[in-house]
Chains A and B, each alone.
Chain A
């Protein structure tokens, strides 16, 4: 087992499994977010359920673990990859081939961007909702928190940049995970690449819809507060 985990394929396998776990989480999170577009009561009811359900409470540390494992193993793989072609062995003329996607060559950088914005997101929402509830502090009204946060155009733009980074990261990571797990062949490879693109598009537009709709509603004066959440 130790030999397996120390191998390049073993490390990538752990990265892939944790990545697919996060892919499922993203879809659940998206479904939750979209309820905010339906009504205040629906969104608040879902948030209350997330705070009270025992299964969700157990899944929170599991989810955090999934993130940590994915980040740690991607770092192990990436740092080893840097030694495959050290800095002093770089080519004078870079390969300009269009056969490879930009995302596939920049997964680590995209991952770093995703993590940095994740901290901002946790500060904006999780710290004022679930964490506040755990600490016994006064919990913010989830819907009003969304309204307040996305009333600032800068925050909306930052979130859309974050969603774009997630789009590129999962558009490669999704099919790459199946490839690493050995669940691909010449027939399934193009199908998985198509599914990855589809998943990335759904995730990007689904998540983007919320800040855009709330900002526009705020501009039209449908919602209350206007304050920069940065």
Chain B
């Protein structure tokens, strides 16, 4: 297969970026998208040009490191997968593929296609945890309703890739925060700090420049783990109840 790849090139956070167009040929349909970018970068190195930077790590769809806004969709044209699980067979031979970084005020571009997603870490540090004192008891000692455990597990599937922010018209992080709040709120271990957690994480999210939720559902549609916006309703509920307790 052969492709024309338009890649966003930007030297650093302050520099003005622009698209550069490259041609890549002889790609097997079973090549992963990131491997195709590796081949293209290798080609650039051989031509004496600077390769472009992009994030990746496990390449198994579980670490949340890969990003990329491909042809108008975070993680590319397929549903419920990360960029690293995308293969070239999902494109047509001769296609022009436009690759952009995540675009959000809270995710500044570091270089080319790499963005700084530290804002997510800051939100987690604000309250996305359970404080324990002494020795943690055996998890199976506390009975948990199956439905609650399942909902918590579904929310825990969030890998923090930022596709929700990337696709939201407001650059909102509500699905990410909702998933983290929901995962802990549905478990008895998470209840003692539930009110404090919801307030702290929402306050940090607002402070870091993410937009509000318009309930478009774009985040759920593009989430590689298909996390439901029903968790956003729970976050709203937790936040409201936390403020009523004051």
Contacts and interface: CB of A to CB of B under 8 A. Distances in A.
A182 B214 contact: no
Contacts of A1: 243, 246
Nearest to B6: A92
A192 to B, nearest CB: 10
B44 interface: no
Contact of A84 (B19, B172, B217, B220): B172
A80 B212 CA distance: 8
Contact of B233 (A7, A97, A184): A184
Contacts of B241: 182
A169 interface: no
A165 B63 CA distance: 43
A227 interface: no
A12 B213 contact: yes
Nearest to A94: B72
B86 interface: no
Contact of A77 (B104, B106, B212, B216): B212
Interface residues of B, number: 51
Contacts of B59: none
A10 B243 contact: yes
Residue from B100, B215, B234 whose CB has the most chain A CB atoms within 10 Å: B215
Contacts of B71: 93
Interface string A91-130: 1111111011100110100000000000000000000000
A100 B211 contact: no
23 contacts: A3-B203, A3-B243, A7-B202, A8-B202, A9-B236, A11-B212, A80-B212, A81-B212, A83-B105, A85-B103, A85-B168, A93-B98, A95-B72, A95-B222, A99-B218, A100-B216, A101-B216, A101-B217, A179-B233, A183-B233, A183-B237, A185-B230, A189-B233
A105 B215 contact: no
The 5 closest A-B pairs by CB, nearest first: A84-B211, A182-B237, A99-B221, A84-B171, A8-B212
Interface string B221-238: 110000011101111111
Interface residues of A, number: 46
Interface in A173-190: 175-176, 178-186, 189
A133 B64 CA distance: 65
B120 interface: no
A179 B229 contact: yes
A133 B100 CA distance: 61
B240 interface: yes
Given A97-B167, A101-B216, 8 more contacts: A12-B236, A13-B240, A80-B211, A81-B214, A84-B211, A97-B73, A101-B217, A182-B234
Contacts of B212: 8-9, 11-12, 77, 80-81, 84
Contacts of B233: 178-179, 182-185, 189
B40 interface: no
A97 B170 contact: no
Interface string B8-30: 10000000000100000000000
A84 B210 CA distance: 5
A104 B104 CA distance: 20
A182 B215 CA distance: 12
Contacts of B69: 91, 93
Given A84-B171, A89-B103, A186 B230 contact: yes
B51 interface: no
A96 B210 CA distance: 22
A148 interface: no
Nearest to B71: A93
Given A9-B202, A85-B103, A93 B171 contact: no
Nearest to A10: B243
A92 B100 contact: yes
B170 A176 contact: no
Contacts of A95: 72-73, 167, 218, 222
Contacts of B170: 81, 84-85
Residue from A8, A101, A105, A181 whose CB has the most chain B CB atoms within 10 Å: A8
A101 B229 CA distance: 14
